[in-house]
Structure 1
Amino acid sequence: MTSMHRRRGTALASPLPRRGDRFGLGARSRSAAALALAAAALAPAAASASTVSYDGAVLVLKAAPGEINKPSIQDVDGKPGSVTLYDYGVPVTSVPAGCDDHPDWHSVECPAPGGVRVELGDGDDWASVSLGVAVPVEMHGGPGNDKLDGNDKVNNLYGDEGNDTLNGYGGNEALDGGLGDDTVDGGAGSDHLLGGDGNDLLFPDHYEDPSPDVVDGGPGIDRIDADWTTKRYDDIEPDLILTLGGGADDGRPGEGDDITNVERIWFNVGATVTGTDAPEYMKLVQTNQPGNLVGNGGADELIGGGGTDVVDGGAGNDILNGGFGDDTITGGPGTDKISGDQTTTECGYLWCKYPYGNDLIYARDGEVDSIDCGAGADRVIADANDVVAPDCETVERGSAPAGGGNGSAGGGPGASGTPLASVGGVQVIAGQRLGKVLKKGLKVSVGGSGTKKVKIRLSYSGKTVARATGKPGRIATLRLNAAARRALAARKQAKFTLFVGQEKARVTLAR
C-alpha cells in the first residue's frame, strides 16, 4: 500500500497541464522546431567552392557548376612569377602544396611558372586579369553569357557557349567567341579574332595602335563596327583598304590585317573595300574622305559617305546609295535599286548634312533597274527598260554591251561590260586579264568632255608602276614598267590601286 502511494506520488509529480494551457509547453517546443526548419529551408545554400590545382606547370582555377563566378588574377608584389587568385563570393578550396591559402578573402597565392588557366562554369561569369600579371593567361567561359577581360600581355580568351564579351586590352591574343552572338575586341596588339557561330561584333585595332590582326567572323552575320576607325579630329587618318575574301593585305598601308567572313562593315574614314560573292553591307559614316565600295557577287547593300565615292554593286540584286557628295555608282549585272543621294538629313551634336551631290550612275546592264538620283545635277546611263525617276537631269538610254545578263557566270567587276573599277570619271575597261595587261598595258576610258587632260597613275604594293595622261572621251593606256612586269610574271592575281588626282580605286586582275 505504501509503495503504491509512492508510485502514484511519483506519477503525479508531473501534473497534466491545465485546460487553458494544454497546448502550452509542447506547442511552443513544436513551434520553435518548425521555425528552425523553415529558416534552414529559406537560408541560401552555401556556395560551391572553386578549386585550385596544377596541370603540369600551369596553375588552374576551376569553377564549380551552378555558381556565378567572378574570379580575378592579381600580381603579387615582389614575386613576379606568382599570382593571387580571387573568386569573389565563392570559396576557394583544394589548395595545392606551395600555395598560401586565405579563406577569409576567398583567395589563394601560388607560383605560376607555366601561366594560369581559368575554367568557368555554367553561370554568367566575369573573369579579369590585372595589368601587373606577366605570366600567360588562358580563360574559358563555358556555358553562359560571360565577360572575359585580359590585360596587355599574352592572353587567350574563349567565350564558349553563350553571348559573351571578350576584351584583349592590348596584348597579343587569340580571342574566340564560340557559339553565340559575341562581342570580341582585340584592342592593341597583333590579335587573332574569331567570332565563331553566331552574329558577332568584332573590333580590330584602332588608329592609334595599328598591328597585323587576323579577323574571321565565322558562320553568321558578323560585323566590324566604326569603332575600329575611331575618329581623331586633329589629323586625317590614312585610308583603309580591305579585301574581304582573305589575304594579309587589309587595314591601313603596311598594317597587314586579314579579314574574312565579315558581312557588315561601318567606317568613318575613307576606305577601299572589295567584297565577296556573299551578301554584304558596307557603309561610310560621318566622313568626307572618298570611299570605294565594291560588292562583287551577292545581294549587297552599299552606302557612301560625304566624300566623292565610287560605289559598285557588281553582280547580284543590290541596293546602292551614294550618300552625300559627287558620286559614281555602277549597278552591275542584276536587278538593282540605285539612289544617287541620301534621302534624309543626318545630324550630329554640332553638324548636319543635307542631301546633295552631282552623281554619275551606270545602270546599262540588260536588267530592269530602279534609279532615283536625288538632289544635284545628275547623269544616268541606263537601259531602255530601266525605271528612272524624274529627278535625274540627264538620262542616256541604250542597249547593254554584248554578254549582258544576270551575272550568273563570271560575276564581279568587269563582268558583262561592267567596268573593273571607276574613279574620278575614269573607268577601267571590262574584260582585261593580267597576262595581257603585262604585255600591252591597262586600258582605261576617260569620261567627261572638254580639252583638259587627266593625269592617271597605277600603283602596286605601294609603288608606282605606270603613268598616263588621258583626254576626255578617249582611251588611255597605262603601260607597266619592267620591274613590275618581272615581279608579276608568275602571279595568278594582282591587286593594283588606280589614282586619278587625289581619288583612288582598287583594281584586281586575274590571268
Structure 2
Amino acid sequence: MKLHRTTARRATLLAVTALALVPTAASAANTNGTDRGELLRGTGVADVIDGRGGNDRIFGFGGIDTLRGGAGYDRIFGGSGNDSLFGERGNDFLNGQSGDDVLRGDANDTGDRTSYDRLIGGAGADTLYGGDSHDRLSGSTGNDKAFGERGADRIAGGRGDDALDGGAGNDTIFANRGVDTVEGGAGSDRLWALAKGDVVPGPGGAVDQVGDTVNAGSGNDRIRTRDGEVDRVTCGEGKDRADLDNADVIVDATAAAPNGSCETVVRADPKAGESNDEDRQEAPKDERATS
C-alpha cells in the first residue's frame, strides 16, 4: 500500500484552491468613469458603477447593481436584478428595466431647478424619486410608487396599482390602467384619471365600480376623472375645478356642501368612447398605458 504524505503547506494550497472554486455571486465589480463621456458596462454580478463627469451610458446587466451618473447628461439602464439608479446632476435618462428598482433623478437638496430628468421603472414594483428638477416619471408595469418631490413634474402610473405623489411644484399626474392613488401635494396641479379603454356604459349607464383615489392637496388644481369608473375625489385647499362622472364620489362632501372642498364641479354621464378619445388628445402617447 502506497501512502501519500500531506504537508502543512500542501494542505493550505488545497484549501485555497477549493475556496477559489466556490462561486462568489455576492461579490461586486467596481467601475469608475472619468470626466469624459464613456460607455460603462456591468457584469452578471452586483456592480457598482460611477460615471462621474461627462455624458455617460451605463448598463448594469445582471445582478443587484448600484449605478450613478454623476455630472453630465447620462443614460442609465439597470438590466435584470433589483437595482438602484442615481442620475445626480444633469439631464438624465434612467430605466430600471426588470426587477424591483429604486430610481432617483437628482440628489436631494441640490437646488437644481433647471435640469430635466426622465425616469422609467420598467417591469417590477419600482420606486421613483424625481428630486429637485422638473422630471417625467413613468411607472410602466408593476405596482409602482412615484414621488415627484420638488419641481414641476409629469407623472404617469402605468398598468399596475400605483401610488403617485406630485410633491411641491405645479405637477401633472396621470392615474392609468390600474387602481391608483394620487396625491397632488403643494402647487397648482392637474390630476387625470385616464380611461382604461373606451368607455362603454352598461345597461342603465352602469360603469366600472373600481376606480382611482385622487387627492389634489393645496393649490388651485384641476381634476378630471371622466373615465367611466367610480373614482374618489378630494379637492383640498385652493380654488379647484373637478370634471367628474356622475358616479364619482366627492369624499368630503356633506349635505350642506355637496361639492366638498371643490370650488367648481362639472358632472356628466360617460359616453361611449368619449373619455379615451379625450385622453388621446390631452395625454402624451407615452403616458397612456394602452394594454
Is TM more than 0.5 here? yes
Q: State the AA in 2 paired with 1:150.
A: N
User: What is the alpha-carbon distance in structure 2 between the residues aligned to residue 373 and residue 295 of structure 1?
Assistant: 20
Conservation of the 8 A alpha-carbon contact between 1:302 and 1:311: yes
Is residue 2:93 matched to residue 1:217? Answer: no
Counterpart position of 2:256: none
Bigger radius of gyration among the two: 1
Aligned equivalents of 1:173 and 1:271: distance in 2? 19
Cα distance per residue 1:456-478 (max 9 Å; x no partner): xxxxxxxxxxxxxxxxxxxxxxx
In the alignment, residue 178 of structure 1 is paired with which amino acid?
A: G
CA 1:373–1:65 in 2, change beyond 3 Å: closer, same or farther? Answer: farther
Q: Give the aligned partner of residue 75 of structure 1.
A: none
What is the CA–CA distance in structure 1 between the aligned matches of 2:44 and 2:213, rounded to whole Å? 40
1:241-293: per-residue Cα shift (whole Å, max 9, x none)? x384xxxxxxxxxxxxxx966843211212244564665432111x2x32222
CA distance in 1, matches of 2:43, 2:70: 17
1:200 match: 83
Structure 2 residues not aligned, in runs of 5+ = 1-7, 197-210, 254-259
From 294, 298, 319, the equivalent of 2:156 is 294
Of residues 258, 261, 272, the one that matches 1:392 is: 261
Q: Give the counterpart letter for 2:60 in structure 1.
A: D
Aligned counterpart, 1:66: 19
Higher alpha-carbon deviation: 326-335 or 373-382: 373-382
Structure 1 residue aligned with 2:241, among 373, 379, 383? 379
User: What is the 5 A alignment of 1:177-326?
Assistant: 177-179=61-63, 181-188=64-71, 193-204=76-87, 206-207=89-90, 215-226=94-105, 228=106, 231-233=109-111, 236-240=113-117, 242=118, 244=120, 263-268=126-131, 269-273=133-137, 276=140, 279-285=143-149, 287=150, 289-295=151-157, 297-326=159-188
Matches of 2:88 and 2:240, distance apart in 1: 38
1:402 counterpart (265, 269, 272): 272
- Residue 399 of structure 1 deviates from its aligned partner by 0.7
Aligned partner of residue 19 in structure 2, secondary structure: coil
Percent same amino acid at aligned positions?
A: 25
Q: Report the secondary structure of 1:66's partner residue.
A: helix
Does structure 1 residue 357 correspond to structure 2 residue 236? no
- Could you tell me how far 1:368 is from its partner in structure 2? 0.8
Report the counterpart of residue 200 of structure 2 in structure 1.
none
What is the aligned residue count? Answer: 252
TM-score, scaled relative to structure 2 = 0.68
More strand by share: 1
Q: Does 1:145 align with 2:27?
A: yes
Give SS of 1:415's match. Answer: helix
- Structure 1: stretches of 5+ with no match in the other structure: 1-39, 50-63, 68-119, 124-142, 245-258, 342-355, 405-413, 423-494, 497-505
Q: CA RMSD in A?
A: 3.9
Letter in 2 for 1:203: F
**Compared with structure 1, are the counterparts of its residues 368 and 183 closer, same or farther at alpha carbon in structure 2 (3 Å cutoff)?**
same
Q: Distance in 1 between matches of 2:57 and 2:265?
A: 54
SS at match of 1:305: coil
What residue identity is the alignment partner of 2:235?
A: C
The alignment's TM-score, normalised by the length of structure 1, stands at 0.42
Contact 2:128 2:137 in 1 (8 A): no
Between 1 and 2, higher relative CO (CA 8 Å, sep ≥ 6) is seen in 2
Name the CA distance, whole Å, in 2 between partners of 1:194 and 1:315.
25
Listed one character per residue, the Cα deviations across residues 83-103 of structure 1 (whole Å, up to 9, x for unaligned) are xxxxxxxxxxxxxxxxxxxxx
Structure 2 partner of 1:467? none
Alpha-carbon shift at residue 403 of structure 1 (Å): 2.1
